Structure 1
Amino acid sequence: MTEGNSSHYQVLRVAVTATDKEIKMAYRRAARTAHPDKGGDAATFRRVTAAYETLIDPQRRKAYDRSYGSGTVRDASSDDGAHFDAPAAGSRASATVRRPGGSRNSAGDPPIYVPPYESGGGYVPLIPLSQAGQQVHGMPRKRGIFGAEARIQREMRTVQLLTRQVLPAIPAARLINGLQSPADNSHIDHAVLSGYRLALINSMLLPKGAYAWDGRTLNHGGRAVAPPQLTHVVWAMQDIFPELNVTGWTVVHSTDGNLHEPVIDYHRRPAGALETVQIVNAAGMVRGLKEFLSSGPAPNTVNVPVLARLLRGMH
C-alpha cells in the first residue's frame, strides 16, 4: 500500500483498537518527524494531522470506522477520507491458504494469521498478535433494566456452550460477544469467525417441550413465540463482508439446562430447506456450528482484517 493510500491508522502507526492516549502519543511521535520545521515533508505532515483530527474525535472516528464496509481506499490527507484498513472488501486473494505440500487445512490445525504477523516491510498490524490470538473477546452486554437477568442468563449459557464445545475443536475460531452491527444499531449477542465463515448468534430461553417452527414463530401448546429478529442483520453483514459466508443462528435454551431440550420440530418446512437463520436447541447449535465453520475454505485461518473490524464494533 502506498503512502498516499494509507489509512489514518497506518499513518499514525497504531492498531484500529488504539486508545485515545495511544493515538495522542503516536501523533506526537509522527508530528515531530513530519513537521516541515524539523526537515519533514508538508504533505506528510498534513496526512498526520488529518489522521489525528479524525481519530481523536469520537464521532468522526466512529463514522470513519463504520465506512470500512465500503472497501474503498482514499487518501488519508482528506479529513473525511475513510476506508477499510485492509484489502478491499470482496477480495479473496488469501482465501486459499494451504499447508506446505498442497494438502488442505483442517479446522483442528494450529491457526494461521492472514496477513501474517511476520510480514515485515513496515507493515503495521491492525490489531496486536496478543489480541488476535485470543479466542474470546468481550462479555455479554447488560442491556437495559427490565428483563436484564434473563438476557444475561441465556447469553452466558451460549458463551459457556461455545467456549467449552466449539472453540476447543477449532483453534482459529474467534468468539466476539456484545457486538453492534456495523450496518446499523442492531445488537448481536455473539459472533463466531473462523476462516472465511461468520456465524451470528442470538439466544432464547424457553421451557422444555416440543416446539413447531413454521418459519416465523415457535408454536407450543397454543402459544406462539417469535425468535429474535436476526435475518436483516445477517443480510447486512453479508453485504459488508462479501468475502465471507455469513449465517444466523438462534439457539433455544431450556430452563433446566438440558442441551437436547426443547425439541424443535420444523413444521411444514421442506426437508433440507436453506434458511438465513437456523433455529436450534443447544445440542443442535454445537453440532451445526462445528460443521458450518469447519467445512469452509481454510478453516484454521484467523482473518485479521475482519476480526479487527468486528472488534471495533463491540459495545
Structure 2
Amino acid sequence: MSGGYRTYYQILRVEVTADEKQVKAAYRRAARSTHPDQGGNAEEFRLVTEAYQTLIDPAKRAVYDRGYAPAGTASQGSAAPNGSGPRVAEPRPAGQRPGSNRGPSATDLPSFVPPFGSAEAAPLSLDLASRQIHGAPRKRGLFGAQARLIREARTIELLQQQILNKYPSARLVNGLVSPIDKSHLDHLVLVGYRMAVVSSMMVPEGAYRWNGSTLVHGQRGVEAPRLLPAAHALAKLFPECTVSAWIVVHSPGGNPFEPVIDYTRGNEPDGGPHLNVVGAARLGRELGSFLAAGEKPNTVDLQILSRLLGGMY
C-alpha cells in the first residue's frame, strides 16, 4: 500500500459505501483475526476497534468522511513510531484548516495511556477499555426503588446522548461503591483527567431556586443528595484528576425544560468546588463544558479506569 497509509475503510476492508450491516460484519472478521488472545497484533486490533467505532456512528462517520486523507497521501496521517507499522488517516474536525496546530480535543478519537502492549499498561483489555458505559443502576432497598431506577435510567440516557456520543474518550461508570461509606454513587463520568460524580432528583414541574444546598419552590425546600464528601474523597484518591459533583433534576413527565431552575449568586453550574445543579436540557452544555476543558481530554488513562472498575479505593 503506497506510503503505508490506510483509511478506516481500508483497515476494515469495506467500501466507502458500506452500510451498517457490512461494517459490523467486517469488524467481526477483523477483530477475530487481530485480537491478541487469538494470536493477533494488539496495535492492529486497536486500529480495527477505532475504525469500527468511527464508521458505525453516523455522526462520527460523516465528520471522518469530510476530512480523512486518501490512501497514499501524507496530509494528515498519524505515523507509527520510527516510521514503522501502519499509518492511519485521522479525521480532520470540521472548520480546522489543514496543517493548523491545535491541542488535543475531547472530540478527537481516544488515546489510551499507557499504550496497549507496553510494560506499564494496566491489566485492562482493549475491549473493556473501549466501552463507554460500565455497570448499571443498582436496586438499593425497597422504598422508592422504582422511582430511583426511572430517574437513574433517564440520567444514563441523557449522558449517553449529550456526553458519550459527543466525546469519544468519555467513560460512564454506574453504581460505584462510595469511597467514604458503603453506599453507592449513581454515576461517574470520566473525560481525560476530569471526573464528575453525578446523581439525580425528580421534582414536580415549576420554578425553583437553587441556593447551594436546597431547591426552593415557594415556601418549600427540597434537599439535594450529598455528593460533595464523595467528590472530595475521590479527588484525594485520584489527585491527577479534577473532580466535581453534579445533580441532574428531572420532571415526572420527562420534559427536559422542566423544572425551571434559577440560581442564587455563586451557585451557577460551572464545575467549581460547590454542588452543580442542572436541568436535563442544560446537562450537555454545562457538564460537557466542564469535562471537555481539562488537560488531554481525549485521553483514556487505563490505570484510572482500571481502579474505578475494580472499586480499588
* Paired residues for 1:19-30 under 5 Å: none
Partner of 1:300: 298
Spell out, residue by residue over 1:107-159, the C-alpha distance to the aligned partner (whole angstroms, 9 max, x if none): 1111000001032x5x5632111100100001010111111000000000000
Change (3 A) 1:288 1:236: same
Cα distance between partner residues in 2 of 1:288 and 1:311: 26
- Which residue does 1:260 correspond to in 2? 257
Whether the aligned pair in 2 keeps the contact of 1:249 and 1:285 (CA below 8 Å) is no
* Pairwise CA distance, 1:271: 6.7
Q: Percent identity?
A: 49
Which residue number corresponds to residue 69 of structure 2?
Answer: none
Matched, 1:204 2:201: yes
Contact 1:183 1:237 in 2 (8 A): no
Q: Residues 92-171 of structure 1: matches in 2 within 5 Å?
A: 103-119=102-118, 121=119, 123=120, 125-171=122-168
Q: Which residue of 1 aligns with 2:178?
A: 181
Question: Do the aligned residues in 1 keep the contact of 2:138 with 2:175 (CA within 8 Å)?
Answer: yes
- SS at 2:165 equivalent: helix
Match among 290, 293, 308 for residue 288 of structure 2? 290
Gaps of 5+ in 2: 1-98
Distance 1:268 1:301, change over 3 A: closer
Higher relative CO (Cα under 8 Å, sequence separation at least 6) belongs to 1
How many residues are matched? 213
Measure how far apart 1:261 and its partner are: 1.1
CA deviations 1:235-280 (Å, max 9, x no partner) are 1111111110000000000111111211111135477884421011
Q: What is the rounded CA distance, in whole Å, between the counterparts of 1:239 and 1:293 in structure 2? A: 18
In 1: Cα distance, 2:194 partner to 2:163 partner: 14
Cross-structure match for 1:313: 311
- What's the CA shift string for 1:76-102, capped at 9, x where partnerless? xxxxxxxxxxxxxxxxxxxxxxxx997
2:302 is aligned with what amino acid?
V
Letter in 1 for 2:104: N
Alignment of 1:167-246 (within 5 A): 167-246=164-243
Q: Residue 103 of structure 1: SS of its match in structure 2? A: coil
TM-score by length of 1: 0.64
Structure 1 residues 103 and 271, CA gap change in structure 2 (3 angstroms): closer
RMSD across aligned positions (CA): 2.1
- 5+ long unaligned stretches in structure 1: 1-99
| Contact residue 268 and residue 276 of structure 2 kept, 8 A | no
TM-score (norm 2): 0.64
* Aligned match of 1:41: none
CA distance in 1: counterparts of 2:306 and 2:164, whole angstroms: 19
Relative distance call for 1:209 and 1:234 in structure 2 (3 A) is same
Structure 1 residues 101 and 240, CA, compared in 2 at 3 Å: closer, same or farther? Answer: farther
